[in-house]
Each structure stands twice: as C-alpha cells, then as structure tokens.
Amino acid sequence: MAHSTLSQVSLAVPTGNDISPRRSVFKRNIINFGNKPWASNLSFDLKSRNAQKSNPYIVCMSVQQASKSKVGVLPSELETAKEPPLNLFKPKEPYTATIVSVERLVGPKAPGETCHIVIDHGGNVPYWEGQSYGVIPPGENPKKPGSPHNVRLYSIASTRYGDSFDGKTASLCVRRAVYYDPETGKEDPSKNGICSNFLCNSKPGDKVQITGPSGKIMLLPEDNPNANHIMIATGTGVAPFRGYLRRMFMEDVTFKFRGLAWLFLGVANSDSLLYDDEFTKYVEDYPDQFRYDRALSREQKNKSGGKMYVQDKIEEYSDEIFKLLDEGAHIYFCGLRGMMPGIQETLKRVAEQRGENWDEKLSQLKKNKQWHVEVY
C-alpha cells in the first residue's frame, strides 16, 4: 500500500536492563523516502517541530517491521526456485538499478559512518539470503583509463523480498571508507574508498550499476528447519545475518524455522551497533530460538582485562558452541579478513583444552558443510 506522503515512523523497542537496546540513528538531512510502499509502516512524527528541536537524529527505518506476527511477502515464485540465481548480470553488462534510500545506521560516537542503502532492482536481479551484489561506481578506472571501475562486492543485508517485502529491492550495509594521512591526521579524499563513498553519498533516484548475484558459500541451508545456526560477524559483516534472521523470524515464508539462531556481533562501541533494534526484538519475541551477544571492543573488557572481541565471546561460550557443532550446527563468519586468525587461534586453544584436535575437527566441519566463511 503506497502513500504519497510520509507522516510517521514506527518502531517497537523492548525494555530491560540486561539488553539495553540502542536506537540506530541517522541524520535528518539525508532522508528522502518518496512514495514508497513501506513508508506507511512508520510511527514518529517526522514533521514535528519539537522533534526537530529536541533531537537532531531520528530512529532508523530498518527496524520498522520487527514484530511477532509474521509479515506477508510477495511474489510467491521466489519461494519455489530449486537453485539460487547466479550471475544474472555480469560486469560488461550490469543492471541499472535505482537508489531508494540511504540511512545512517550508527550513532554520533561511532568511529566512522555506516549506511543502510536500499536499491530498487525492479525484481530483475533476484537473489537469496547470503548472496552478494557487485557494484560498479561511476567514472573510469584510474589504472585503466577509458575502462569502468572494478566491481566491488557487497553482502546483501535483506531477504530475497527486500525491506519492502515485494521482491523488488535489496539492501546493502556499507561502511564509508575514509583515508587519513598518518602524518597530518587529516582526511585525504583522493584516497577514500571510491565505491563506499559513492553509495553513502547517493540520493534517492540516483542510478547504480549492479552485477550478480554471486556466492553460494553463505547460503542459508533450509533443508532442515530444526538445524542450529551460529553467526559470527564484525561490523558490516552482519549483513547476511540480518537477511537470515528476517527470514527466520519476521517473514511469513515456506521456511518454518524451529532451531536456534545465535548471533555474535563485534563492533567498537554501543553507537556502532548495527540493526540492534531488530535483533533485540527477536530476543524478546523468540527467547528460546534466538540468542544475541555483543562484543564492544572499546567499552567491554575480556577476562584478561584486554579489549573484548568476538573471539573472547566465543571462548566465553565455547562449551555450548562446541556442543552445538558436534550436534550438527552450522557456523558462519563474515567481516573483515583480519577477524579470522584470532578466531581460529581461540577455537584451536579451546579444542586443545577439551582434548580435541582442532585441525581434524575443522576438516570434519568443512566436510559436513557446517563451516561457512566470507571475509573481505
């Protein structure tokens, strides 16, 4: 149902001392939703002068649909395909999609900026949860004059139905890559990330060249709805897991999830948390099926007094994690490449303490297709 004006933003925010939900925010001046079908789901008066005076930030739209009653989705054909779509559009012939919205996801104290970007592909570039789109930023490749830029891959942060549940959009979670000169400490725009800045600076209606979808390693296995899924993310690596969780807990789809989903998310501080309201709502609505642990490196300490990283959380819950893996759970890792050595060292140490050989265990997990890694 489309509305010509956006009057309200809606959000269910749980309460509770142990969860301490934080609202994702974005600056008012980058919003321009236009006449979009999901604008009607929103409750917070954007036109309120009092709100403008008292709060320069407003609630992030990405959580507006989180509620226990499942959301209807279309088109139904997206459920019936036996194989995931792959490489429908290639770099030499990309699809021209349209930016729907760009939202700042993080609070003012977050180091850096991360944006939630909704792209309208018109239903022409379907994908499955866990896949990626390629984005070709405008302009020419400085290393190959006359040629377009290389493709940058981004994990898709929505389900196959998109944030508007109509199968026509995809969402990306993008951190703006900014380069600071180590000597002067000043930003050097000439060395900033070309694609991330293009996406974060884009406005509704702007065109974007996309390729894909690509990737099979992070597809959510749905053959066993009772299976358990352990998801470990750093920063924007949470993108595919947002898609998984919306499919598990938000949408009314043929996949009827009955297992346990457990998300570990590592970021710098509370203001850097991504989609925290959505995840917190699932904890409230599905306490027996969803666990959510945050590692805030600049706010929490590990047992040794050092910074808290995701591997410290893994170690904290290692007995449960290893038991779940022994019972056939899937484990996924997504984020910066640098996250894996520390995690692997922790898992190896824990395995040895348990009298197990980690290399053998890892080999078996891979053989059983329980081990899924996507780092960049």
Per-residue pLDDT reduced to its tens digit, 239-270: 999 999 999 999 999 999 999 999 999 999 99
pLDDT of 322 > 80? The answer is: yes
Residue 47: predicted pLDDT: 29
Residue 53 pLDDT > 70 = no
Distance CA 110, CA 236 (A): 13
Looking up tokens 């993008």 gives: 174
Give me the pLDDT at residue 180, please: 81
For residue 305, what are the contacts with CB-CB under 8 A and spacing of at least 6?
none
The reply to whether 93 belongs to the active site is no
287-299, pLDDT tens digit by residue? 999 999 999 999 9
Residue 181 — pLDDT band, cuts 50, 70, 90?
A: confident
Q: Are 119 and 208 in contact (CB under 8 A)?
A: yes
Any catalytic annotation for residue 318? no
Return the half-sphere exposure (C-beta side, CA atoms, 13 A cut-off) of residue 243.
Answer: 28
Catalytic residue among 24, 62, 132, 155: 155
Rounded to whole angstroms, the Cα distance separating 220 from 265 reads: 18
- 35-44, 80-89, 259-268, 310-319: the lowest-pLDDT one: 35-44
Q: Specify the higher pLDDT residue, 175 or 30.
A: 175
The 10s digit of each residue's pLDDT in 121-133 is 999 999 999 999 9
Whether residue 41 has pLDDT greater than 80 = no
Binding residues for NADP(+): 155, 175, 236, 297-298, 307, 335-336, 374
Q: Which residues contact 371 (CB under 8 A, 6 or more apart)?
A: 331, 362, 365
Instruction: Tell me what the pLDDT averaged over the chain comes to.
Output: 85
pLDDT interval class at 26 (50, 70, 90): very low
Of residues 364 and 64, which shows the higher confidence score? 364
Higher pLDDT, 298 or 3: 298
Detail the residues annotated as belonging to a binding site: 155, 175, 236, 297-298, 307, 335-336, 374
Q: pLDDT per residue over 194-208, tens digit each?
A: 999 999 999 999 999
316 is catalytic: no
* Stretch among 175-184, 229-238, 273-282 having the lowest mean pLDDT: 175-184
Q: How is the chain split among helix, strand and coil, in percent rounded to 5? A: 25, 25, 50
- The question of whether 286 is a catalytic residue gets the answer no
Q: How confident is the model at residue 16 (pLDDT cuts 50, 70, 90)?
A: very low
- Report whether 172 contacts 187 (CB < 8 A): no
275 catalytic? Reply is no
